[in-house]
Structures are given as structure tokens and as C-alpha cells.
């Protein structure tokens, strides 16, 4: 029954250790490498160790890892050096004795960033080869590299627009543009490293870059500048940057730097960056850095050699990559070809035969700036205080919640600022305050939308019980803030809901950080997600996906933390009787209903049989409705979603591993579902996928199918949204962690051994129903929707004030009815040309007896794709032809007359 752990050379992790890291004995005298101690090793390996100045302990550890690798994977000839370099990185990181920088080891073994991390991941052939500490270090380096690379790409592009060709223009003292660019980038790296606690924060780093550029442009000769930057710096007095509409907190602050506001505005406009937000970064971070460098009030650029010397110290201390090498396009920092699937495609030619229109690619910086701009536009008209409509709802309550709501927001604002400053640094308090304000506006906006929807649904205006529920408000505000934080940070998550096992978690503001800030139970947070998405139509597709992923993280692991309210609710549910369950398996094959509102979930009974009736002055349901079932709606819906997510994950893994044994999947699902229903304590401080992989292995074992855990986790790593800690760091007992193999042997099998063995008997347990897997319940923006009462009329929402930079030639001629737009005659003319062309093609097609194939569904997208199957337009407006064919049966008399005229015209044109 138990899996056997294969030997991989040196015994690893023989006893259960909290951090699940490889532990090697550290000798006392190991400050320098003793060559004589390593005669048993390859001479070239020892020479590499000597070059990187590693200790004896690191050398021993790296060689042990190399030994285990040779026994478990095929090593290509002439790649030993490369593998040795990665082994040394792993060993030094694990032992926390790093004597070399990341760039130094790269150069020593001739590996660029992509190659190094790719090789490191391939080496992780056994679940205990790469520890969680190494994984965390690798993740940090990857994030920092990606941000630095994106920033340099934008920096290089911006500088090409700012500075004249260095070969043609020389400044005073022979300084040319190349020298200034090098100094500017090094100054930025130095500022980012010294003042930003989170160097992988793309937005704040980019805003800081704007001020470094402004600082350098003002100090370079005008002959080196191009327009509009040359004009922006002419004849303007520099004025101190001041904070507007911000309270003085009474703390000593650096003197506001002198800034050329016209130049700053030009820079921000060219880079789609908010001047107000960038100014806050300057006031809180850049000004302090300039003073610390002694550059405040100077009119000269700092010496390039001095900047490089200071950055060298910073780089040596951090032990990561040398970002100055971006300037030289050094091979160690190259990633090879750009993944163009992540960029917006640039069409070669317009369908109407116009000149090609160049569309800037959606680079990380551009995508971030566009997302922030869209959010700020949506919230511009919103207030950070309750609207008049909300105030009226508050007044209709039996107990007016207005004062409590205001006080709660104020209290949580202080809590948020405190945690934000702790994560990003005390100088970022005002930045945190800005983001909380945006979150507050979104919170009130969504609350109003929710209440309007509830009023329409229930025909009541008294929502006293809901609006006096503190958990509901805290959850709603947390969701609004998560949207804001994800917009600025990008859709990211903290290790799939697990702690990183290091200090990195303290500075990670990714989800579920906001739950920790507000001390909010994940189970309570999940209740608001679906209603939030439905109540806020301006959410982008990416943001909806982000919130949906947050919901999945809650169901996978976060809601199952040891102190979770969920376990108490399940215990209470079981106490109601042996037949009482959170959600009966019989309902699994029924469609999942998505008509539950936040009021339903927050006001549903906590204890199934002891639900107090709703007060007559605060109805949660229409009086004419019969009493609701005593089962907790929120718990029932939660378990329904967990079951469906669990089966979906199992189905994906089976499709990778067991295509030749499809009969095993329903058996595995039955064991998995039984575990979640009857042994839910196994989920405490664990992950849903840990039980899934254990159930899969158990059934294969009793059915005599050769499927090893190593094979399972290898396939698991290829599934979307997975984290290696899920199978490397599993709770065993009392805060002790080990691999999933140990968990299976010591915990899972011991608890479920009797049940598992039943599947080997001639009379196995009854199989559980297979859950019905619905599509996402959330409506994504830009998806065409049918107009009620019509079979063939669809509308496709247009994003608010879509930036021309993200529009294609196709979408540039869209007309938004009821909204003004420029050059209407020109746009209508183009549309008429397309419609007329389509009508003629339609008639010709009908006369030839070939009716257009009906669409499965209509889809308007940004890449010129017309059909649901993703086929490209052939230049004949296929989508319009098919739309017109569908609309033929309901055309008006005027349209019929037009078609007739066009048909006559076509006949006259034919020979």
C-alpha cells in the first residue's frame, strides 16, 4: 500500500523538519574552501567552487545534489558545468551561505536567466531536490527580473524619444547622450534599491523612474534633447513639488524637491502615467533619496563612476543580478524571443484598404498603466462617502447604520495604512492612503448597486439586518480593495494561499494579504465575491478572472486554515444528525444555481436548525415566500462549489495520466468526495489538491495500476494555478511538514485505509454522482448579449473611454449610440461601405445557392477574429454576412427595399 521512496544518493530529510529543507552538517572551519578536502570530486567542479569562493559546506552540499541528479536524470554531455552552477546556487541558498552573486554564477557557467531557471526546474525531478527556501528565492529573482526588464524596455524606448543621437550632438565637456542614459539608469537602480522595500512593484518603480528621468533631463544640455522635451524645458522656472489636498501629519519630511512641472507632465503624458500619483512617490521616496545622495539643489549630473560604485555595493549586498548589464544587452539578462502571445497583434492592413495602423504592444508597463487609467476613470465620479441614494437606504433601516459604517471605514483605513507601510515602507503611507480612498469609492459604489438590485428583487427598502452586519461590510470593502490592489500590483497571489516560509511573506501584498489585514475569515469573504462581480459592470475581464481565482484559492486552502469558522459550521451540521450533511452528494449532478445574493449568504442561518426568523422590520425575503430550508445557504453553496472545483482538478489530472484507464476516474472521485464529506478534518491547514493526489494514488494502488507519486506530481506541476509547496510542504502533525508521500503514508492512508481497501473487494462502495461542471457564472465584458425579446439582435458593451492605443482599425470605427464621437460623417461613411459591400456579397452568395453557415455564438474581439472557432476574417466581412443572413427573416420594409436595390445593382455589374 505505501509508496516506496526511491534512494537518490545522499539521504535527504530523514526526519520531519518544519521548513522541509535539505540539512547538511556545517563544519566549524568552513570560511574558505580547503582544496585538499575535495580530492574525491571532479577537479573542474572544485575549480568552479574556488572561482565562486564557496565554503566547504556549500561544496559538499552541491556535490551531493549533483550525485543524486546523475542517478535520477539523463545529463547531456558537456553540460556538467551548467548543472554544477545550479547545484551551487541551490546549496548556497539552502545553507544561507552565499558568497557569489546570481550574475557571477551565471557568467561562470554561461547561462542566461531563462536557461538558468529552466535548468533549475528540470533538476527538480524528486520532490525533495529543491526546497521551499530555494523555490522562494527563485520566485523572488524571477519577479524582480521581470519587473526590471519591463522597466528597462520602457526606459530605453523613452530615452530614444528624449535624447538626440549621441553621434550628432555633444554637450558641454564632451558629454553625450549615451553617457547621460547610462548615468540615468544607474541612478534609477540605486534609488529603487534604496527607497523601495518591494523592488518588484512595477507601478511604484515606474513612477519613480519618471522622476529620475525628469531629474536627468533638466541637467543635460538642450542640444541633446528632442521635441517635445526641448520645448518643455525652455524658459521655465523650477518650483518645489507640493502635496495638494493632503494633511500634514506633523512628521519631519524631506524638503520638497524642485521639479519642472511642465517637463514632468510631458513625461507622464507620453507614458500614460498619472501625474498626481507619481508626485506622491516623489514626495515620499525620491526626495528622501536625493537628499541622502547630497544632490538636492545641484544643477549637475552626479558622476557616473560614483553612481556605479554605490550601485556595486548594493548589488553585492543583494546577491542578485547586475541590472546595469541591461544597458549592454548582456547575454546573461537576455530571455530569448518575446512571447508574442501575450502582446496585442498588429494587423498588417485595414480591411478597407487603408494604410497600416501601428498598434503599440501590450507590454507589462502599458498594460498596468491602462488598467489603472480605466479604474480611475470609473471612480472619478464616485465619492469616498455614502451617496445620497445610500443615505436614503440607511434612513429606511430600523437601525440607521450610517454612523457605524463611517466609523468602521475610518478604523479599517488606519489598519490598512499600517499594514501597507509595513509591507512597502513607512514612506509609502500616503500611497496606501490613496489606494484605500479608491477602494472606499468602489465599496460605496458597489454597495449602492447591490441594494438597488435587492430592492428590485424583494420590493423592499428596509435592509436593516444586512446593513448592520459588520462582516458583510468588512468583506465588501476587502473585495473592493483587492480590486484596487490587484489593478496596481497585477493579478498575483501569495504562494497559492500558503506562507512562503520566509520573510518574503511580510512584504507580499498579494491575495490573501487583505484578509490578514482585516482579520477577515476567508469563508466570510467568499460570500461577497459573486455578488460583487454582478454588481460592478465596469470590471475588466482580467479582474473578473482574478476575483474568480481568489474564490478558488479560498475553496482550495485558505478557508481550511486551522482556526477557520468553517470547521465549526461543519461540526454543527454533523451534530444535527447522522444524515445531515453540508451538501448531499445526490445534488452533485444537478445544475449549479448562481442566483444567490450577498443578502442570502450573509443572512442565512449559521447553525442549521436554530435559525432565528427574520425580524418583520428587516425582511430578507418577500413576505409571500414560504420559509426557507433550515440548511445554511452559504455553507451549502460553498460545498457545491468545492465539489465542482475538486472534480474539475481531478478530471484534468486524470486526462494527463490515466487516458488508458478511464474507469478509474469515477472511483477516485468517489473516494475524494467521501473524504471531503466525512473526513473534512484532513483539510485542516492543508490543500484540496493534496487530498486529490492522495486519492488518485490510493485507487491506483488497490487496482494494481503502476502510478508513482513522482509521476503524479510531475503532471500536477503542469496544471494551471499550481504551486510546488502543495506537494513539497504538507502538514503531517503539530506544525511539522514533509512531502506528500509522507503525508499519504502517515496520515491519509491511516485514516482511510478501511475505506480504500473496499475498492479492491468484489462489492465496492456505490459511486458518487459526477458533478455537473458549468461555465463560469460571471459575465465577461465585451461578450455580445442577446437583446431581450429578439432572436437575432445582439449588443456588445464598449469599454468606457477606450484608449485609442489599445484599439484596432476594426474597433476604431465602432459607434457607441448615445455618446458623442469625433468625425461622425467619416465613421458612418466607413460603416456604410462595409454594410453595402456585405449586402452585395450576401445577395451574390444567396443567388449561388450557398447559405451562410450560422454562428454558434457571436464574438467581437480585438484581434479581428470573426467566428467562434477562431478563424480569421478573409477580408469579406464574414461576420457581417452571417449576421445579415440571420437577420433576413425580420428585416423591416426599408431594409428589404435596400436589399432589392442592391441586388439589382449586383445584377447590372455581372457580365
- The number of angstroms, rounded, from the C-alpha of 230 to the middle of its chain's C-alpha atoms is 39
Task: Specify burial of residue 269 (Cβ count, 10 A radius: 0-12, 13-18, 19+).
Answer: exposed
Q: Which helix (H) or strand (E) holds 370?
A: helix 364-380
The residues of the chain scoring below 70 in pLDDT are: 1-31, 73-78, 125-129, 165-175, 232-257, 335-361, 491-507, 576-582, 584, 586, 589-591, 593-594, 605-631, 774-911
Residue whose entry in the numeric block shows the C-alpha cell 518544519: 18
User: What is the CB neighbour count within 10 angstroms for residue 107?
Assistant: 17
Half-sphere exposure of 652 (CA within 13 A, CB side): 18
DSSP designation for 837: H
Interval 244-288: pLDDT, tens: 434 444 444 555 557 778 888 889 888 888 888 888 888 778 888
Q: Radius of gyration (Cα) for the chain, nearest Å?
A: 31
Contact in structure between 171 and 188 (CB atoms under 8 Å):
no
Per-residue cell: 484:
484596487
Task: Specify burial of residue 301 (Cβ count, 10 A radius: 0-12, 13-18, 19+).
Answer: buried
Strand 239-240 to 258-259 pairing: antiparallel
Rounded CA separation 465/463 (Å)? 6
User: Which ranges of 73-162 would DSSP assign to H, the alpha helix?
Assistant: 80-95, 102-109, 113-123, 132-162
- pLDDT recorded at residue 608: 40
Contact in structure between 902 and 840 (CB atoms under 8 Å):
yes
User: Of 430, 436, 434, 429, nearest to 413 (Cα)?
Assistant: 436
Per-residue cell: 889:
427573416
Contact in structure between 796 and 783 (CB atoms under 8 Å):
yes
- How many separate helices (H) and strands (E) can be counted in the chain? 34, 6
- pLDDT recorded at residue 677: 93
User: Of 839, 833, 841, 845, nearest to 900 (Cα)?
Assistant: 839
Rounded CA separation 182/147 (Å)? 19
Rounded CA separation 298/837 (Å)? 65
Contact in structure between 542 and 782 (CB atoms under 8 Å):
no
Q: Which helix (H) or strand (E) holds 421?
A: helix 402-424
Peptide bond into 512 cis (omega under 30): yes
Angle at 511 between CA 510 and CA 516, to 5 degrees: 105
Strand 730-733 to 736-738 pairing: antiparallel
- pLDDT recorded at residue 125: 65
Rounded CA separation 460/618 (Å)? 9
Per-residue cell: 776:
463560469
Strand 736-738 to 785-786 pairing: unpaired
User: Of 623, 624, 640, nearest to 632 (Cα)?
Assistant: 640
Contact in structure between 556 and 688 (CB atoms under 8 Å):
yes
User: What is the CB neighbour count within 10 angstroms for residue 857?
Assistant: 10
Contact in structure between 226 and 162 (CB atoms under 8 Å):
yes
- pLDDT recorded at residue 223: 83
Peptide bond into 898 cis (omega under 30): no
Q: Which residues contact residue 242 at a Cβ distance below 8 angstroms, ignoring those fewer than 6 apart?
A: 256
- The number of angstroms, rounded, from the C-alpha of 825 to the middle of its chain's C-alpha atoms is 42
- pLDDT recorded at residue 723: 87
Contact in structure between 560 and 686 (CB atoms under 8 Å):
yes
Phi first, then psi: what are they for 671, rounded to 5°? Answer: -65, -40
User: Of 729, 887, 665, nearest to 127 (Cα)?
Assistant: 729
Half-sphere exposure of 771 (CA within 13 A, CB side): 25
Looking at the DSSP bridge assignments, the partners of residue 865 are 872
Cα distances (Å, whole numbers) of residue 741 to 1, 114, 223, 684, 731: 12, 30, 68, 18, 11
Q: Which helix (H) or strand (E) holds 239?
A: strand 239-240
Looking at the DSSP bridge assignments, the partners of residue 786 are 794
Rounded CA separation 487/469 (Å)? 28
Contact in structure between 544 and 482 (CB atoms under 8 Å):
no
Which pTM was predicted? 0.77
- The number of angstroms, rounded, from the C-alpha of 829 to the middle of its chain's C-alpha atoms is 42
Interval 651-684: pLDDT, tens: 999 999 999 999 999 999 999 999 999 999 999 9
Per-residue cell: 454:
435587492
Largest Cα–Cα separation, the chain: 98
Rounded CA separation 518/678 (Å)? 31
Phi first, then psi: what are they for 689, rounded to 5°? Answer: -70, -20
Q: Is 327 left (phi over 0), alpha (psi -120 to 50) or beta?
A: alpha
Amino acid at each position: 500500500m505505501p509508496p516506496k521512496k526511491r534512494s537518490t544518493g545522499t539521504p535527504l530529510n530523514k526526519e520531519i523538519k518544519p521548513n522541509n529543507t535539505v540539512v547538511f552538517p556545517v563544519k566549524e572551519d568552513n570560511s574558505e574552501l580547503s582544496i585538499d578536502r575535495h580530492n574525491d570530486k571532479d577537479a573542474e567542479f572544485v575549480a568552479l567552487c574556488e572561482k565562486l569562493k564557496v565554503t566547504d559546506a556549500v561544496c559538499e552540499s552541491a556535490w551531493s545534489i549533483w550525485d543524486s541528479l546523475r542517478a535520477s536524470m539523463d545529463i547531456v554531455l558537456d553540460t556538467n558545468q551548467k548543472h554544477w552552477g545550479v547545484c551551487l546556487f541551490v546549496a548556497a541558498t539552502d545553507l544561507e551561505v552565499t558568497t557569489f552573486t546570481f550574475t557571477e554564477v551565471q557568467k561562470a557557467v554561461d547561462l542566461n536567466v531563462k536557461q538558468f531557471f529552466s535548468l533549475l526546474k528540470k533538476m527538480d525531478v524528486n520532490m525533495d531536490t529543491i526546497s521551499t527556501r530555494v523555490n522562494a528565492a527563485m520566485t523572488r529573482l524571477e519577479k524582480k527580473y521581470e519587473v526590471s526588464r519591463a522597466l528597462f524596455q520602457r526606459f530605453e524606448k523613452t530615452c530614444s524619444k528624449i535624447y538626440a543621437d549621441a553621434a550628432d550632438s555633444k554637450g558641454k565637456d564632451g558629454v553625450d547622450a549615451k553617457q547621460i542614459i547610462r548615468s540615468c539608469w544607474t541612478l534609477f537602480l540605486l534609488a529603487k534599491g534604496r527607497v523601495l522595500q518591494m523592488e518588484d512593484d512595477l507601478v511604484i518603480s515606474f513612477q519613480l523612474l519618471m522622476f529620475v528621468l525628469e531629474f536627468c533631463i533638466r541637467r543635460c544640455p538642450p542640444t541633446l534633447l528632442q521635441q517635445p522635451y526641448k520645448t518643455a524645458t525652455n524658459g521655465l522656472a523650477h518650483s518645489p513639488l507640493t502635496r495638494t489636498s493632503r494633511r500634514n501629519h506633523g512628521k519631519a519630511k524631506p524638503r520638497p524637491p524642485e521639479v519642472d512641472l511642465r517637463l514632468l507632465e510631458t513625461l507622464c503624458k507620453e507614458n500614460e502615467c498619472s501625474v498626481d500619483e507619481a508626485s506622491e512617490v516623489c514626495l515620499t521616496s525620491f526626495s528622501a533619496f536625493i537628499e541622502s545622495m547630497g544632490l538636492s539643489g545641484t544643477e549637475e549630473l552626479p558622476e557616473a563612476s560614483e553612481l556605479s560604485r554605490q550601485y556595486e555595493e548594493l548589488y553585492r549586498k543583494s546577491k542578485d543580478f547586475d541590472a546595469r548589464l541591461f544597458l549592454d544587452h548582456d547575454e546573461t539578462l537576455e530571455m530569448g524571443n518575446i512571447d508574442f502571445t501575450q502582446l496585442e497583434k498588429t494587423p498588417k492592413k485595414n480591411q478597407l484598404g487603408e494604410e497600416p495602423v501601428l498598434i503599440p504592444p501590450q507590454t507589462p508597463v502599458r498594460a498596468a498603466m491602462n488598467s489603472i487609467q480605466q479604474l480611475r476613470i470609473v471612480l472619478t465620479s464616485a465619492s469616498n462617502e455614502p451617496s445620497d441614494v445610500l443615505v436614503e437606504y440607511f434612513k429606511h433601516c430600523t437601525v440607521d447604520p450610517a454612523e457605524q459604517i463611517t466609523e468602521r471605514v475610518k478604523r479599517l483605513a488606519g489598519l490598512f495604512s499600517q499594514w501597507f507601510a509595513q509591507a512597502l515602507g513607512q514612506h509609502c503611507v500616503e500611497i496606501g492612503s490613496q489606494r484605500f480612498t479608491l477602494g472606499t469609492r468602489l465599496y460605496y459604489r458597489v454597495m449602492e448597486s447591490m441594494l438597488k438590485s435587492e430592492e428590485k428583487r424583494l420590493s423592499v427598502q428596509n435592509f436593516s439586518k444586512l446593513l448592520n452586519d459588520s462582516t458583510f461590510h468588512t468583506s465588501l470593502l476587502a473585495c473592493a480593495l483587492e480590486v484596487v490592489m490587484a489593478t496596481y500590483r497585477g493579478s498575483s497571489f501569495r504562494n497559492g494561499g500558503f506562507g512562503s516560509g520566509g520573510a518574503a511573506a511580510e512584504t507580499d501584498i498579494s491575495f490573501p494579504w487583505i484578509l490578514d489585514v482585516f482579520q477577515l475569515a476567508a469563508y466570510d469573504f467568499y460570500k461577497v465575491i459573486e455578488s460583487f462581480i454582478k454588481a460592478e459592470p465596469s470590471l475588466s475581464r482580467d479582474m473578473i478572472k482574478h476575483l474568480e481565482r481568489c474564490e478558488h484559492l479560498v475553496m482550495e486552502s485558505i478557508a481550511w486554515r486551522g482556526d477557520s469558522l468553517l470547521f465549526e459550521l461543519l461540526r454543527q451540521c454533523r451534530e444535527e444528525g447522522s444524515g445531515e450533511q453540508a451538501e448531499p452528494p445526490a445534488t452533485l449532478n444537478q445544475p449549479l444555481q448562481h442566483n444567490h445574493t450577498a443578502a442570502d449568504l450573509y443572512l442565512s442561518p449559521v447553525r442549521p436548525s436554530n435559525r432565528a426568523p427574520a425580524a418583520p422590520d428587516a425582511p430578507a425575503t418577500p413576505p409571500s415566500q414560504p420559509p426557507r430550508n433550515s440548511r445554511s445557504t452559504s455553507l451549502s453553496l460553498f460545498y457545491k462549489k468545492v465539489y465542482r472545483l475538486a472534480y474539475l482538478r481531478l478530471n484534468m489530472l486524470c486526462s494527463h495520466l490515466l487516458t488508458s484507464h478511464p474507469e478509474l476516474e469515477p472511483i477516485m472521485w468517489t473516494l475524494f468526495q467521501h473524504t471531503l464529506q466525512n473526513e473534512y478534518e484532513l483539510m485542516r491547514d492543508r490543500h484540496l489538491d493534496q487530498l486529490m493526489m492522495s486519492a488518485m494514488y490510493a485507487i491506483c494502488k488497490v487496482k494494481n495500476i503502476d502510478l508513482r507519486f513522482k509521476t503524479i506530481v510531475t503532471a500536477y506541476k503542469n496544471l494551471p494555478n499550481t504551486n510546488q509547496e502543495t506537494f513539497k510542504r504538507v502538514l503531517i502533525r503539530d506544525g511539522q511538514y514533509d512531502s506528500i508521500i509522507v503525508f499519504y503514508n502517515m496520515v491519509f492512508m491511516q485514516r482511510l485505509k478501511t475505506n480504500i481497501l473496499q475498492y479492491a473487494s468484489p462489492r465496492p462502495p456505490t459511486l458518487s454522482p459526477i458533478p455537473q461542471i458549468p461555465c463560469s457564472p460571471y459575465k465577461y465584458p465585451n461578450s455580445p448579449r442577446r437583446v431581450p425579446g429578439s432572436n437575432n439582435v445582439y449588443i456588445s458593451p464598449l469599454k468606457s473611454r477606450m484608449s485609442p492605443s489599445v484599439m484596432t482599425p476594426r474597433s476604431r470605427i465602432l459607434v457607441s449610440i448615445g455618446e458623442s464621437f469625433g468625425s461622425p460623417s467619416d465613421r458612418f461613411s466607413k460603416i456604410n461601405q462595409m454594410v453595402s459591400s456585405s449586402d452585395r456579397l450576401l445577395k451574390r452568395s444567396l443567388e449561388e445557392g450557398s447559405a451562410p453557415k450560422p454562428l454558434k455564438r457571436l464574438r467581437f474581439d480585438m484581434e479581428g477574429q470573426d467566428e467562434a472557432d477562431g478563424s480569421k476574417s478573409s477580408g469579406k466581412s464574414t461576420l457581417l454576412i452571417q449576421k445579415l443572413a440571420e437577420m433576413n427573416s425580420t428585416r423591416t420594409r426599408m431594409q428589404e427595399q435596400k436589399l432589392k436595390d442592391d441586388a439589382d445593382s449586383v445584377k447590372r455589374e455581372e457580365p
